[in-house]
Structure 1
Amino acid sequence: MARFQNTGQPDWDWWSRLWPTPGATLRKLGVESGESVAEVGCGSGYFALPAARIAESESVYAVDLDASLLDELDGLADRQGIDNVVPVHGDARNLTDVLPDPVSTLVVANTFHGVEDQSGFVEQAFRAIEPGGSLIIVNWHDRPRETTTVGTEPRGPPTALRSPPGETEDVVLSAAPFTLDRLVELPPYHYGLVFDR
């Protein structure tokens, strides 16, 4: 199965220019201690590793289709002394089959724009989240790609794949009985939508 479109693992250096403190970003989005987390399309763990620090003893399932990125994440977790990250090699289109248990929080960072069947994915996400849990979607604002630069290079998905918060909200709310909790601006180029199950 192919990866979601335009969701390859970027360089950690430019991620750090956008989010120098990924743990603080996750806390701002509502990730809390003592809650299980899954990150879809985790790559090598830029968000999954700090999520594991926040979750403390709870499991953080790091889901990706690329086994080499999961190996890299596993090595980073070992070097950082993080033992509650659980790499999950599998297709996020089948979340309920891939995850061993429902989670408190499901994070979809910089991936939703590339999901071909967004409604089907949201339905899977709803079933993979515990009642009372949260779905967090971090997305690029719908600005022309040439204006979203990191260093001197345009970054992010093609302009045509970007969607404003209201459009993303409509997709989620029409696919499953989530409720929107809040919109969180994540300068310079992103927003986060937090949905309650």
Structure 2
Amino acid sequence: MDRFQNTRQPDWDWWGKLWPTPGATLRKCGLSSGHTLAEVGSGNGYFALPAARIVDPAPVYAVDVDPSLLEALAHLADQQNIKNIETVAGDARSLTDHLPEPVDVCLVANAFHGIEASETFVTEAVSALAADGRLVVINWQDRPREETTIAGKPRGPPADLRLAPSTCRERIESAADITLAEQFVLPPYHYALVFE
């Protein structure tokens, strides 16, 4: 399995500068107690860990192609006594093959821009949702990389991979029977699209 284009796991220090309260971001996106969640491209858990606290006792399926990141996530969950994260090594373009049940929320944070064959992924993500489930996409704003600095350095994907919210919405809605329910800005450099 190959990584999605231009996706690497940032270190926790700059994640913390970018998102000091990831749980608040997840709640703003509609995540609440009892929701089952699949996070695509979970890495070592910057969003999966707070998500697990929010939805407990429901499960969080942390999906990534990199087993070493999933091992790090499992270790962190164990250290923090979080019992409801299940790590899943697999390609999100075959997501339904990797999940044991439909989920209430499928989260894709900082990864949609790098998914090749995004139509296949969207179809899979929608198929993985329970009735009334939601697909949440958090993406970098389509600004030049030089303008998205963290700790004084340009961060995020190259400008040619970044998608305007309207382009991201169009790609998702054209790939599956799903409709934008909510859109908002996540300062300083992101936006969120919530589809139902």
TM-score bracket, normalised by the shorter chain, equals over 0.9
Q: CA deviation at 1:19?
A: 0.7
CA distance in 2, matches of 1:184, 1:79: 34
* 1:28-107 paired onto structure 2 within 5 Å: 28-107=28-107
Q: Report what 2:193 is aligned to.
A: 193
Q: Report what 2:178 is aligned to.
A: 178
Q: CA deviation at 1:144?
A: 0.2
Tell me the amino acid that sits aligned with residue 154 of structure 1: P
Q: CA deviation at 1:147?
A: 0.8
Q: CA deviation at 1:4?
A: 0.1
Q: Report what 1:22 is aligned to.
A: 22
Superposed CA RMSD: 0.6
Q: Once the two structures are aligned, what percentage of the paired residues are identical?
A: 58
Q: TM-score, normalised by structure 2?
A: 0.99
Moved over 3 A (4+): none
CA distance in 2, matches of 1:165, 1:109: 14
Once the two structures are superposed, residues 45-92 of structure 1 have per-residue CA deviations (whole angstroms, 9 ceiling, x without a partner) of: 000000000001000000001001000000100011100000001111
SS at the partner of 2:63?
strand
Count the aligned residue pairs. Answer: 196
Q: Report what 1:112 is aligned to.
A: 112
Tell me the amino acid that sits aligned with residue 68 of structure 2: S
CA distance in 1, matches of 2:149, 2:100: 38
**Please, which runs of 5 or more residues in structure 1 have no aligned partner?**
none
**Please, which runs of 5 or more residues in structure 2 have no aligned partner?**
none
Q: CA deviation at 1:179?
A: 1.2
Q: Report what 1:165 is aligned to.
A: 165
Q: CA deviation at 1:125?
A: 0.5
Q: Report what 1:128 is aligned to.
A: 128
Q: TM-score, normalised by structure 1?
A: 0.98
Tell me the amino acid that sits aligned with residue 58 of structure 1: A
CA distance in 2, matches of 1:14, 1:153: 10
